Structure 1
Amino acid sequence: MQDDKRKKELLQLFTNISGKTKIVEPMKKIHGTLRDRDAVEREIALVMREILEQGFFKTKLKPIQLARLVSAYYAGKNDTEIARDLGDEKLSKTVARARVRLKLFRELDFKMPFDQDRMEDLLLSGKTMKEVSEDLGVSPSTLREYRHVIEQRDDVTIDPFLERIKDVMEDRDLSEQMTRSATKDSLGEAIDITEAEMIDVT
C-alpha cells in the first residue's frame, strides 16, 4: 500500500510539472542498460589485443571482431551468422578456427566420424597427415580441423586471458539481471523526468 501511495504521489508530481500524466516508455528506457554490449565488447577487445600482441595465435580478425565473435557465440549464433555479423559470410571458416582457439566449443566440434583415441594414436605414430587421413577415411583438411579442436582443448596457454573474458561476460549477465529487476518497478524509487517520455492526455 505504501508503494502504491508513493507511485501516485510521483505521478501527481509529473502531472503538476508537465501537464502529462502517462508514461509510455518502460523503465528500461529510463534506467538504460547498466552495461551495454558495446562497452562489454570494447573490454573484451582489449584482452584480445593482448593475446594477439603476445603471439598466442594468429588470425585475420581484429581484436574488436574477436570480441564480437565472443558476444555472438554467447548469443547462440552459429559460425556463418557470426561471419555475417562481421560483414563477410566467407569468414565462417576463419570464425570457426578463432572460436575453437578461444575454447568456445560446440558439441558438433567433437562429433568425429571415427574414434578420437585412434586419431590421437595415429597422429603420434609418426605417419604423415595424408596417411593418417587415409586410415581414418577423411580428407587431410578435415583431419587438420579435428586435430585443431583437440589441440586447443588441451592447450592451457591462454586460459588466464579466457578467464578474464569469462569474468567480463559474467559481469554483463549480472548487469542485465539487475536491469531486468529494475524494470519490474513501473516507476522506481526515483525517475529522471528529463528522460521519461510522456504523452498528453488533455
Structure 2
Amino acid sequence: MTEDKRKAHLLKLFSSMSGKTKIVEPMKNIHGTLRDSDAIEREVALVMREIIEQGIFKTSLKPIQLAKLVTSFYAGKNDTEIARELGDEKLSKTVARARVRLKLFRDLDFRMPFDKERMEELIESGKTMKEVSEELGVSPSTLREYRHVIEEQEDPTIDPYIDRIRDVMEDRDLSEQMTRSATADSLGEAIDITEAELIDVT
C-alpha cells in the first residue's frame, strides 16, 4: 500500500471508529500566522501610492489595482486575464503599459519584428516616428510600444520602488513555502496521532 493510500485508509478508519475530528486541528493553527494575499496586496498598494504621488508615472489605475496587477503577474496571468480581474477586459492595454512601467517584463515584450540597433540608428538620424516605422515595416503604434519597453528597461528612476515591491513578493513566496511545509508537517503529525490512537483502540 502506498504512503498516500495508507494515510487515507487510516484517516477513514479512525473517523469511523472514533468519530473524532481533532486530528486535523493542527492545520487550523497555520492560517493567520502568515500574511495572506490581501495583506500582500495592501503592502504593494502603499508602494504604488508613493510612486503615483511622486509623479514617477501616470496611469488611470488606482494603487490597489496596480497592486493586483503585480500579484496577478507573479501568479502567471497574462494582461487580458489581469484586466478581467480588475473588472474590465478593455483595460488590457492600460495593464500592459503599467506592467512595463513597473518593469514586469515578459519575453514577448522583447520579440521585436525589426532589428533594435537599426531602429535606434533611424531614430538618431532625426527621422520622424512615421518615417522610422515605414523603414522598419511596422505601424507607428507598434514602434511606440517597443520603444516604450526599451525606454522603461533603461530608466532607473523607479528602481528603488521596484526593489521594495520585489522584497514584498519574495516574502510572499517564502510565506507560501512555509505554509506548504507547515501543512505537510501538520498532516504528518495528524497521521502519527491517528496511528497511535488506533493502536490504543485495538
TM band (smaller chain): 0.7 to 0.9
Residue 66 of structure 1 pairs with residue 66 of structure 2 = yes
Aligned to 1:31: 30
Report deviation, 1:31.
Answer: 1.3
Letter in 2 for 1:73: F
The alignment's TM-score, normalised by the length of structure 1, stands at 0.80
Identity of aligned residues (%): 75
Residue 79 of structure 1 pairs with residue 56 of structure 2 = no
CA distances 1:69-128 after superposition (whole Å, capped 9, x unpaired): 000000000000000000000000000000000000000000011101111121221111
Letter in 1 for 2:30: H
Report deviation, 1:187.
Answer: 6.2
Q: Contact 1:27–1:185 (CA<8 Å) still a contact in 2? A: no
Q: Measure, in 1, the Cα distance between the counterparts of 2:23 and 2:124.
A: 66
Report deviation, 1:21.
Answer: 1.4
Letter in 1 for 2:176: E
CA distances 1:121-180 after superposition (whole Å, capped 9, x unpaired): 212211110000000011111100000000000000010000000000001111111111
Q: Unpaired segments of 5 or more residues in structure 2?
A: 1-17, 190-202
The alignment's TM-score, normalised by the length of structure 2, stands at 0.80
Q: Contact 2:24–2:187 (CA<8 Å) still a contact in 1? A: no
Q: Measure, in 1, the Cα distance between the counterparts of 2:83 and 2:23.
A: 37
CA distances 1:169-200 after superposition (whole Å, capped 9, x unpaired): 001111111111111123688xxxxxxxxxxx
Q: Contact 2:27–2:186 (CA<8 Å) still a contact in 1? A: no
Aligned to 1:132: 132
Please identify runs of 4+ aligned residues in structure 1 that moved more than 2 A. Answer: 22-30, 185-189
Residue 146 of structure 1 pairs with residue 153 of structure 2 = no
Q: Measure, in 1, the Cα distance between the counterparts of 2:69 and 2:144.
A: 22
Report deviation, 1:22.
Answer: 2.3
Q: Unpaired segments of 5 or more residues in structure 1?
A: 1-18, 190-202
Q: Contact 1:26–1:183 (CA<8 Å) still a contact in 2? A: no
Letter in 2 for 1:32: H
Q: Which has the higher helix share?
A: 2
Q: Measure, in 2, the Cα distance between the counterparts of 1:68 and 1:155.
A: 23
Q: Measure, in 2, the Cα distance between the counterparts of 1:178 and 1:172.
A: 10
Aligned to 2:114: 114
Structural RMSD (CA):
2.2
Report deviation, 1:26.
Answer: 7.4
What is the count of residue pairs matched by the alignment? 173
Aligned to 2:56: 56
Letter in 2 for 1:53: E
Distance 1:26 1:121, change over 3 A: farther
Q: Contact 1:182–1:188 (CA<8 Å) still a contact in 2? A: no
Letter in 2 for 1:103: K
Letter in 1 for 2:174: L
Distance 1:101 1:27, change over 3 A: farther
Q: Measure, in 1, the Cα distance between the counterparts of 2:86 and 2:184.
A: 34
